Chain A
Amino acid sequence: DSGVTQTPKHLITATGQRVTLRCSPRSGDLSVYWYQQSLDQGLQFLIQYYNGEERAKGNILERFSAQQFPDLHSELNLSSLELGDSALYFCASSVAGQGMDTEAFFGQGTRLTVV
């Protein structure tokens, strides 16, 4: 158990809908990262938050947004869903935003299926 909790584990929704994925980081971790793993793209970095503020952005679509709340949990919002958004979405957390001690610990992921 990595200490990172993601809910829900599975989500099935229709095209055009909006969903929210939730992540609770390990106790004490200030950084939260979101990754997408699809069959053809592998693990892709989406976005990082550090202590409530956006720190780094990857290839995140404009239809996707995220935030980190004062209690450090994070939510990833996916809207106007398309079939191609079906993927595993991982959240990871680490102690700091920069520095060598930033091995990220991953949650078990949320499997999103868009039908």
Chain B
Amino acid sequence: DQQVKQNSPSLSVQEGRISILNCDYTNSMFDYFLWYKKYPAEGPTFLISISSIKDKNEDGRFTVFLNKSAKHLSLHIVPSQPGDSAVYFCAASPRTSYGKLTFGQGTILTVHP
């Protein structure tokens, strides 16, 4: 039972345009949501997070939107840069154990110059 789903295995975007990565979850106990970025041969790197009491969080070029009723979150990257090319993981954790992350399968983002 996959509780966090990233339905798009890959996304290709032109440099300067917007990248939108999507994530759906099924567990109502999830209270905190995060996005991680991963380059080959490296561990995941924390990017941005949002708690369930908010619907938007912004950090520079990165914005995460949360729609609790739809159990959906998205990561917007504007403008996209070639250095953003990586695997992006959505993750969620319950209020009772914030470190116990459930990850999605990841989306490979490729930003073309």
Residues of A within 8 A of B (CB): 2, 4, 31, 33, 35, 42-45, 48, 55-56, 58, 90, 92, 94, 97-100, 102-109
B14 to chain A, nearest CB (A): 28
Are B98 and A42 neighbours in the complex by a CB distance under 8 Å? no
Listed from nearest, the 5 A-B pairs whose CB atoms lie closest are: A106-B43, A43-B103, A102-B98, A103-B46, A56-B97
Q: A42-B104, A106-B36, A106-B43 are in contact. List 11 more A-B contacts (CB 8 A).
A: A35-B101, A42-B106, A56-B97, A90-B44, A92-B43, A98-B98, A100-B51, A102-B93, A102-B99, A104-B99, A109-B43
Task: Tell me, in angstroms, the Cα distance from A48 to B100 when the chains sit together.
Answer: 7
Q: CB-defined interface of B80-111 with A at 8 Å, one 1/0 digit per residue? A: 00000000010101001111111111100000
- Of all chain B residues, the one with the shortest Cβ separation from A4 is B43
Given A42-B105, A42-B106: A107 touches B49 (CB 8 Å cut-off): no
Task: Tell me, in angstroms, the Cα distance from A2 to B46 when the chains sit together.
Answer: 10
B7 in the interface, Cβ–Cβ < 8 Å? Answer: no
Are A105 and B46 neighbours in the complex by a CB distance under 8 Å? yes
Are B100 and A45 neighbours in the complex by a CB distance under 8 Å? yes
Are B32 and A100 neighbours in the complex by a CB distance under 8 Å? yes
B45 in the interface, Cβ–Cβ < 8 Å? Answer: yes
- Of all chain A residues, the one with the shortest Cβ separation from B106 is A42
Task: Tell me, in angstroms, the Cα distance from A33 to B43 when the chains sit together.
Answer: 13
- Of all chain A residues, the one with the shortest Cβ separation from B32 is A100
B82 to chain A, nearest CB (A): 22
Task: Tell me, in angstroms, the Cα distance from A56 to B96 when the chains sit together.
Answer: 10
Partner of A43, one of B44, B49, B99: B44
Task: Tell me, in angstroms, the Cα distance from A98 to B95 when the chains sit together.
Answer: 8
Are A31 and B46 neighbours in the complex by a CB distance under 8 Å? no
Are B99 and A94 neighbours in the complex by a CB distance under 8 Å? yes
Q: Which of B42, B49, B99, B100 has the most CB of A within 10 A?
A: B99
Q: A residues within 8 A CB of B91? A: 43
Q: A residues within 8 A CB of B73? A: none
Are B43 and A56 neighbours in the complex by a CB distance under 8 Å? no
- Of all chain A residues, the one with the shortest Cβ separation from B48 is A103
Q: A residues within 8 A CB of B32? A: 100
